[in-house]
Amino acid sequence: MKINFNKKTIFAVLAVIILIVVFTKISNKNASPEAEETTVKTVATMIIGEDLATQGSIKTEGSVKADSNVSLISMQSATVKNINFEVGDTVFAGQNLISMSENAILTSLLNAQTDYSNKQNNLEIVKTSTDQDIKSSEINFRNAKEALELSKIQLKSAQDNYDNGIIQIEKGKADLKNNAVITYNNNLSALFDILDQIDYIIKEDGEEQIAGIENVLAVKNRQSLTETKSSYRTTRTCYDTLAAKQISAENIQSEINESISCLQKAKIAIDNLIIALENTISSQDFSEATLNSQISKFNQLRLSVLGTEANTKSTEQALENIEINAKADKDRLDNALALAKNQLAQTEIAYESAELSLEKTKSLKEQQIVSAQIAKDSSLGQLNLARERAGDLYIQSPINGVVTKKSVQLGEEVSPGKVLGEVSQLGLVKIIVNLSSDEIYRIALGDLVKIEKEHEGTVVNIAPAADPLTKKVRIEIAYDNTNSDLIAETFVDVEFPKKKLETQEEGTFYIPLSSVTITQNGNYVFLNEDGKAKKQEVSIGRIDDALVEISSGLSNGMELIIEGNKLVENGDLIKTE
């Protein structure tokens, strides 16, 4: 099929296309540039691998010390074997500069060492031999002393036991009587309760009676009820007699038996009541279960009375034997105290004898040791003298400075007092600074240091250990004071540049701590990747001031956002300053 287009149709289509293009251009032209700018955030960045670890400094205060120069002087006649310096060399205090040799001095040192070793061995032999002589005396004395101390402890213990025992005897007697009074009163309470329970069945004195029992109680044997009431009255009379008495610790011994008698009467009354209950029949108002319950109850009460009676008899027996037992206890205390006193007297005699024997043996030992010690000390004095002479064969620099004179040759024979060289501090002063241990690792020998902001010195000495009191490390800074810029014995401001921090592993970097976001769920930074912020998780290591070590997550060449990172999110459009 063939389609034909006329000119009007073609012109209409072209007009529509032109209108669409014009409208699109106008819309793009009128779009707000501010809206576009609000979606692009400005940040500052750095390229990973730049040396940020050198940023920062340590500021402190130091004291200025004057310069000096010292001659190197031979103290012995000897031959020069080694010379470890030349004029112009920089040396440090304690540095070995010259080594010398002298056979006579070395031979004398060897002989002194041998003699001292012999004297020391002889002293030990004397000590060992005399130790054997007094060893048995010391053992005897120690045993005697321990026995004496033990006897004193035993006597004190016996005396304390005696004193406490007498108190306890009297207290025991008082307690027993007081407990007997309590038992007596408890018996009264028990008797009152027994009488009350019996009366609740038979209604002899009281107004109340267990419901439904009145017409059936002991109907099978009325005599049992009569006997119950009779024994009840007997027990009641006994109880009233007991209750009327004024019982105390002084009269309890004579009255305790009466309470036993009342308990026995109460048991008879309970027995008669149980017989009466066994001759009781159940009824509509008094059930068989209630009857059996009452019989069981009074059987239990009977057992309780028997137990109370037995305990009261035991208390009565104790009261009867109270004085006999107290005398027996006191006799035992008297015997134990007398035995301890006799034992102490015997151990005191044995101790004094062992002490005299030990002192005599020690006196003999001390005389022999003193003689051997004198010989050893004399030998040690000769050894120290030989060591001092041998030590003089090594010439060390007494100060930090520059060698300004050399007046000795290798192999030269020198005599005492000869000047071998000179170490000087030409126009130098030292600034003494003390730094904490966590700062010292950022400083190295040879570092240039700012002094009073406008002068520059050099670190020439770092103490190998911190001061035990201040826990700080001494630093010495040399400064060319030719122009008299600094005054000795004054304080100046000092600023140390921090040396580069060495990362712990290859592939780790130092970056600004402020560029890292640290959370409980992890740590991350933002990178600039093709004009967009990219969130990158990282692992952190050591933190030093404003820098942090990144152990993983970054690599050389990455562009890290270091400012504005707190305002961007993953995927945000960004531009750099």
Q: What is the CATH number of the domain that holds 415?
A: 2.40.30.170
> What is the CA angle 473-474-479, rounded to 5?
140
- For 326-360, the pLDDT digits (tens) are 889 889 989 998 999 999 999 999 989 998 988 88
Q: Is 344 inside any structural domain?
A: no
- For 145-188, the pLDDT digits (tens) are 899 899 999 899 989 998 998 998 888 888 998 999 999 999 99
Q: Is 142 inside any structural domain?
A: no
Q: Is 467 inside any structural domain?
A: yes
Cα 127 to the center of its chain, rounded Å = 43
Q: Is 104 inside any structural domain?
A: no
Q: How far apart are CA 170 and CA 177, in angstroms?
A: 11
Q: Is 432 inside any structural domain?
A: yes
Overall domain count for the chain: 4
Q: Which residues of 242-268 are buried (b: 16+ CB within 10 A; e: fewer)?
A: beeeebeeeebbebbebbbebbebbbb
Helix%, strand%, coil% for the chain, nearest 5 = 50, 25, 25
What is the gyration radius of the CA atoms in the chain, in angstroms? 56
> Which of 40-44, 304-308, 407-411 reaches the highest mean pLDDT?
304-308
Task: Say if residue 27's pLDDT is above 60.
Answer: no
pTM of the model: 0.37
Task: Say if residue 375's pLDDT is above 50.
Answer: yes
Quick one: pLDDT at residue 11? 54
Q: How far apart are CA 243 and CA 192, in angstroms?
A: 10
How does DSSP classify residue 501? P
Based on the fold, state whether residues 181 and 254 are members of the same structural domain: yes
Residue 27 lies in domain? 7-39
Based on the fold, state whether residues 401 and 489 are members of the same structural domain: yes
Quick one: pLDDT at residue 499? 62
CATH code of the domain covering residue 525: 2.40.420.20
The arithmetic mean of pLDDT across residues 24-38, rounded, is 47
Quick one: pLDDT at residue 201? 95
The arithmetic mean of pLDDT across residues 110-138, rounded, is 88
The arithmetic mean of pLDDT across residues 229-251, rounded, is 94
Based on the fold, state whether residues 493 and 565 are members of the same structural domain: no
Based on the fold, state whether residues 420 and 290 are members of the same structural domain: no
Based on the fold, state whether residues 312 and 324 are members of the same structural domain: yes
Based on the fold, state whether residues 402 and 530 are members of the same structural domain: no
Q: Is 519 inside any structural domain?
A: yes
Based on the fold, state whether residues 33 and 87 are members of the same structural domain: no
For residues 51 and 135, the model is more confident at 135
Map tokens 């940040």 to a residue: 43
Task: Say if residue 30's pLDDT is above 50.
Answer: no
CATH code of the domain covering residue 216: 1.20.140
Token pair of 275, please?
């017989």
Q: Collect all residues with Cβ–Cβ distance below 8 Å to 154 and sequence separation of at least 6.
A: 340, 343, 344
For residues 390 and 493, the model is more confident at 493
Where is the domain boundary, 497, 521, 546? 497
> How far, CA to CA in Å, does 451 sit from each of 59, 196, 428?
10, 109, 14
Based on the fold, state whether residues 414 and 293 are members of the same structural domain: no
Quick one: pLDDT at residue 288? 95
Where is the domain boundary, 312, 329, 346? 329
Q: Is 224 inside any structural domain?
A: yes
Based on the fold, state whether residues 278 and 228 are members of the same structural domain: yes
Q: Is 338 inside any structural domain?
A: no
**Do residues 196 and 268 make contact, with C-beta atoms less than 8 angstroms apart?**
no
Where is the domain boundary, 282, 311, 329? 329
Based on the fold, state whether residues 313 and 203 are members of the same structural domain: yes
For residues 402 and 456, the model is more confident at 456
Based on the fold, state whether residues 294 and 423 are members of the same structural domain: no
Based on the fold, state whether residues 280 and 318 are members of the same structural domain: yes
